[in-house]
A and B are shown apart, each in its own frame.
Chain A
Amino acid sequence: MSAEKPSDPAYDSTLRQRNGQATEPVSEPPATEPRGFFDSRTGYRQLLRHLLDEPVRGGASFAYVFGSLLLFVLCNQALTGVLLMAFYAPSATDAWASVAYIQDQVQLGWFIRGMHSAGASVMMLGMCAHMLQVLIYGAYKKPRELNWLSGLFLVTLVFGFALTGYLLPWDQKGYWATQVATTLIGSIPLCGSLLQQLLQGGPTYGNLTLTHFYALHVFVLPVVVLVLIAIHLWVFRRHGVTPRWNQSPKDLERTAEPFWPGQATRDLLAIAALLTFLAVWVIRTHGVDLAAPADPASRYDARPEWYFLPLYQLLKYFPGPLELLAALGIPSLIGLLLAALPFIDRSESTQPRRRLLPILLALSVPLGLLVLGVVARSQDLQNPVHIKHLYEAHDQAQLARRLALQGVPVAGGVAVYQNDPLEQGRLLIAEHCTTCHAVGKSGPAEADQKGPDLANWGSRSWLRGFLQNPDSPHYYGKTKLATTMKAVQLAAEPMTDLVEYLHSLGNDTGPRSGTDAARIQRGEVLFTDLNCDICHERDGKTPGQGPNLGGYGQATWIRGLLQDPASPLYFGEKNDMPLFGKKLSKTELERLTLYLREQRLNP
């Protein structure tokens, strides 16, 4: 019987009939069975049977679950993707704010977004597993070349999804990492610049970049993927699974069984396991990170998502014009080689031992990628500057997201920082003060510092350190004021009294209004006993040798200092500081004052 031969194109339907009769006569309903309302009008049962009774030659196996897993991950991406679309706005002003809203305010938003992101990672891993299986089973061989090629195409498209999706939150991470990709496209000879501008909707990033990427991500790519998957599955159904190499055709026929329930249950079991794994992963990590809103004026250590890390690392080895070769040439070459595989390896046998060369060659690709990825990661982890930047970026992201809870101003993105007057002060400090002043760990190198450290300025610990060693570089040692004041030498207790007194000067309710009145009083006595009052007046209007300490640490005092530090009430002739009253607006001065005033409340 010709139907016994698997090469016969008709074997598939013959086998189904044979199989149904031999193993389960009840699965084929008798022709007389009444058909339901819908079935008699649509014939859906026949379609269902066609889908479910696909014969699996050689019997069901867990080795065949990868395709179904990928299909499931795709469904996961589609579902979570549509859910995200329902709360997302693709515009440069709204994208970050809407994603922050999804992440931090919509119930289970973090979970849906996490599932979408983790799904993308799993898709990459699943594709690798699926391809390796195809490779080992020799499933790319004749007559399944088209299956292999459509699969490779799908891989490319998945990378397209990853690239376009990474930008959509419009956060620092996506913004800077995607810049690298579009710049590379722009460096393609001849058509590169045009291509880049078409893709990003103009010469620079903006609203149109997001709408373009969005259109690609949620419509163009999905449609192409669906078409390719249809082809992929159609060709797959035509030729069936590629069974293990050690079974004779006769065995295969004998052990064939329909897809449902044997293979289907295995697939579903694998899908359930994967879903559980994904959910646990997402819950444990509380979904995926969201960096601070994209800020073109900032600096950010751009790193791609892990599946692009190998490519990222490759760029480091190819300087200048060779970069394009690394970024586009090498992946294209690998793609072409993989595409040519079924045409190079034309032997009949699917026995892996006889195909060692192609298998090893193909295996070297993921291995090479793995090595590159690991090198990239370990270089980053050994780079203290990068680690420091990572922490800063993390803090920035936390701050932005906290402020976004108050609602993001319509200007969008970085305008979220307007919600925080203190943050405004911090930014102003960074812009105007850190050329000379350190603020904790940030600021200029020690050699370039020209004023005291502003972190915790006016706080008890700051005052104590200052009194004990005013000429330390941490305080006024690098200013013209150096050596004008003697270090205060006091035992621990009286020193605490003096510090408490000086700190109380900054209280809005006036000096001596602190919690420890007795201590403050003793400190005030010490102030005169130690002759501090000879140089430092405390009435807020009489000039002296040193700054007038009336209201020292209060908003008025700080504002006055910022406006005119050369006033005789402050540093007088010994002033080194710019007169910010002339440089900054009133609001900016207020914000700086607020920031500095906040410092004294630290321990």
Chain B
Amino acid sequence: MDLEKFWLFYEPDSILRRINIKKQPDKRGYFGQYGGRFVPETLMSALRELEVIYLSVKKDRLFQKEFKALQATYIGRPTPLYFAKRFTDHLGGAKIYLKREDLAHTGAHKINNALGQALLAKKMGKTRLIAETGAGQHGVATATSAALVGLKCEIYMGTEDMHRQALNVFRMRLLGANVVEVPIGSKTLKDAINEALRDWTTNVRTTHYVLGTVFGPHPFPVMVRDFQSVIGKEARRQILKAEGRLPDYLIACVGGGSNAIGLFHEFMDSDIKMIGVEAGGRGIGTGEHAARFIGGSIGVFQGCRSYLLQDNDGNIVGTHSVSAGLDYASVGPEHSFLRDMGRIQYTYATDNEALAAFELLSRMEGISPALESAHAIAEAMKLAPGLPCDKTIIINLSGRGDKDVQQVARIKGIEV
């Protein structure tokens, strides 16, 4: 079935939708049946403390004022909403707008959350930040925020990701962070999260764990969503100004899912179609992918209940994606919930499709997207040509592709 027909036949349970979507998560951190707080006892009090502080700063005018000022003068918000005219003309269908998170300080949306949490940590009296990183963008954002706020910083990163993202490793070190190599397990993001959680368990009294996506134990999924929802708030204003109406489609890539939730959240109560794009890797049939909704099932992993790539015995299986930021075995619990509710449709793009999108956007618009964001571009390349030209699409261009240039050259067999 092609996509247009899919939407035609697709009627989400609107009653459930009205009751639930806006009210999530509940007090225990559940989005429907997903989420929760599955961590060792040592961390339970710290999570509660974080939740209390977080709820209090939400209403704290002084904190919000300081944060807003930094968003404007340090991160460079609002980021532009750019009409990609040549890309639109080339595809010959719906109008395509890019939300330029790649222009945020440090080159990706990750700073929205990292800076927010760094300020929180400072308020809690913590002296040290730790974080996991896959693509390196969240690590760079955390290292940057630590430097700004004046906290010590340690970043956990899998060996394989350090290899794929050597440039970002050096950047983090330049920013004064200590990058800790994680050579165990699959040597990617999930192993870095395990190590970060172990560090946090050990140093919980002095350390705040800056989790980088809408994942993990409550309150991380909701807190990170709130820090990222600035993306959608701006995009709504900007598209109203540019088009005089709301868009028809929103597209974002989904690793843990923070850039997607960040864009989508503000539009939740509209009828706009939302598409999350997972990493199809070498193809679903090969088993080498990170498409949790197509290849996974429900489980509990790294602090919450969500969709998960696991084997029959409940062990986590290896994943693959050309983009380190999407190469993860599970997905934010709110995404699982919104998928069950039929509010967001999930699809995937393969490594090759993402690489083609990376190149096409570079040539058409002079914008090289991060390989993560290139998955969202790839979906637009499939969708836009089949839509009439009075429809509009906003793609979250969540990060810039500079960090991936070496990797793309390597794949193409070119020595840089």
- Do A and B originate from a single complex? no
